[in-house]
Chains A and B, each alone.
Chain A
Amino acid sequence: MSETHTETVKEHAPASADSHPHGAAHGPASPGTDAGPGAGGLSLPERIYVVEVVRGLAITLGHLFRNLLFPGRFRTIQWPELPRPLPQRFRAKHRLNKWEDGHTKCTACMCCATACPAGCITIVAGEFSKPLVKVDAGVTKIIEKYPTLYDIDLLKCVYCGFCVEACPCDAIKMDTGKFPRAGYSREDFLWQNRFKDGLPTLERNAAEA
């Protein structure tokens, strides 16, 4: 009887289009006011309304029973017990890559901090006491620098992923699948890393589950 209902009918029952053709225009269709036949594009059964009520009730009851009998059909995700399935290239919280022996891959080149549009990366560079020699894909690398401090303020970070693209040594990744949840202070959202001779001495996780 109301306009909303007319649209519901159109949506849910395309088969009814041939049995009750409503005109193209169902403009100011107010069921009580239009007395003339076909006024407002409503057919007779639609104007009697009771028939349409019963059809609507049938639709809702159908949904009810389908959901009752096939509980697996729900699309609801049981968060937080079940995390939402993330897309493959989802940019989540950062991770610093390591060599097999535990040394950080980061060379404190500042590329990420430079690329960062939010300016949330803080790096303090340090020097190895003895340069690190690594063979990567057949190329021998002599690494002299490492970050003594590598902090990311996750409240500033916009998760754009520029740091990952800028990194020349594949040291920073955003593939953890975690993202910060709630915290009680700004410090909770500061992701802190400290290194000594390229080995991590402290990693304080920012607020995450």
Chain B
Amino acid sequence: MEVISSLILVIGRPALMWFLLLNLIPLMIWLERKGSAYIQDRIGPNRAHIGGLRLAGMVHNVADVVKLFTKEDIVPSHVSRGYYIAAPFVAMTVALMTYAVIPFADAVVIGKKSFPMQAANLSVGFLYILAIASLGVYAVVLSGWASNNKYGLLGGLRSSAQLISYEVSMGLSLIGLVMAFQTVELNDIVRGQGELLFGFLPKWGIVIQPLAFVLYLTCAFAETNRNPFDLPEGESEIVAGYHVEYSSMKFALFFMAEYVNILVQGAIVTTLFLGGWQVPWLPTAVLKRHLDVVLPLLAMGTTVILCLSFVILRRYDLANRTRWQDARRREGLWLSRLSLAGALAFLILSTVFVKWPVDSKGGWPSLVVGMDRALHLLPGGVRGAIEQLLYWKGWGGVFTALVQFSAFVTKLLLVAWLFIWVRWTLPRFRYDQLMKLGWQVMLPLALANLVVTGVVYFVQG
């Protein structure tokens, strides 16, 4: 049991991270499309469907994937071949590497072993993130230069200048946090944020370093080349900038890397400023003790959110009911009925049957009424194995980690949504405005924040 569990945890941690990150990309693309449409009073994607199922435009991602995979992969004759091909891979690799040090739950203690819930537990902490993030510019520069295209070159130039300018403020804005938490290790920073300030306020980074939060967020926008800092792409000025010569999956890699970068920055902002995996006012020990309350509550919350979203979907469908005379019309109705039924079942299950045993023996058989009796019908050997699995002591830790993981993902998605929201609100900066903001506003503010923080902590001792 111990061997299996540790194997699962060792492989499972990075696997969970990749799974989360890569599967959030389509969600982000959908959010971007649908969100931007609603912000601009449009309907957004609603056409692509598989047998009438269109999931409010989510199916468009499938169409995109098919399209991008089957498109001709053009390598123009005028490019520097090696660098041209390498650039999208650099973009994606760097984007994915950053995520290695982000903790997504508190360390799970099973028996005597403790498993930190991050892919790599580095002592240099967020310095690693800064270092890897600073390499991201090479993808843009290489692609821009290798494309042998004036727009590409301009995009690469702009990107490198922009990243150099904003990396300085980015690093400086984080030093205040180091002073506050006395460490650079991300997991320790998150643990530090579990404390309470004045007895009621969570000691999150955004609470003790609000200016640093704004500065870091601005730098994160610049770092991910998102509006209002999307000068390297600037489609109204330089077409698409650095990836103008790319097609097919090479373009898709750039496209995906952009969203991975958003998610990574969202994860960093969450970890450093929004308490990471901390559920507010519920430290890990308390959470573990009260799983019997928290788990049903979480289930109910999920159900309520699901119901709400399907109610919205249904309303959307009903509002357009007379208009759609094809198979797609039925989808909203069916989907909402099905999911309402599922949600109701989920709700009933979570309220009636879930009874998390505190730290007595227990385990899962007592979760579902009659399950222990059903077990007796099985032959002895099988029953023993199943019981060993069900009565395993580690479940409490695993489920605690799961709750914290969902808290983390919720915060991460909120920050990622902020990126989309800002993109569809603000106009792009002019180049001189970008430079002035970076060097004459952000840098002095970051330094001032640093000095004030230092003085305060010096006086406090």
Contact = CB atoms under 8 A, between A and B. Distances in A.
Contact of B425 (A50, A60, A68, A71): A60
A63 B437 contact: no
A2 B436 CA distance: 13
A71 B437 contact: no
Contacts of A68: 38, 312
Interface in A25-66: 30-33, 50, 53, 56-57, 59-61, 63-64
Contacts, number: 74
Contacts of A1: 429, 433, 437
B424 interface: yes
Contacts of B315: 71
Interface in B413-434: 421-422, 424-430, 432-433
Contact of A5 (B319, B324, B424, B427): B427
B451 to A, nearest CB: 21
Interface stretch (B39-47, B133-141, B178-186, B296-304): B39-47
B69 interface: no
Contacts of B410: none
B123 to A, nearest CB: 36
B436 A56 contact: no
B324 A81 contact: yes
B325 interface: yes
Given A32-B437, A81-B323, A81-B326, A60 B41 contact: no
A16 interface: no
B426 A63 contact: no
Contact of A63 (B39, B325, B430, B432): B39
Contact of A78 (B42, B320, B436, B437): B320
Contact of A75 (B41, B323, B429): B41
A102 interface: no
B214 interface: yes
Given A56-B425, A56-B426, A71-B319, A76 B42 contact: yes
A13 interface: no
B144 interface: no
Contacts of A76: 42-43
Contacts of A57: 421-422, 425
Central interface residue in A8, A68, A71, A76, by most chain B CB within 10 Å: A71
Contact of B432 (A5, A32, A59, A72): A32
Interface string B29-50: 0000001001111110000000
Contacts of A8: 427
A2 B229 CA distance: 13
Given A5-B427, A30-B430, A81-B324, A61 B421 contact: yes
Interface of B: 35, 38-43, 214, 312, 315-316, 319-320, 323-326, 421-422, 424-430, 432-433, 436-437, 440-441
Interface of A: 1-2, 4-5, 8, 30-33, 50, 53, 56-57, 59-61, 63-64, 67-69, 71-76, 78, 81-82
Given A60-B421, A67-B38, 16 more contacts: A1-B433, A1-B437, A2-B430, A2-B433, A5-B427, A8-B427, A32-B440, A33-B432, A53-B425, A53-B426, A57-B421, A64-B38, A69-B312, A71-B315, A71-B320, A81-B325
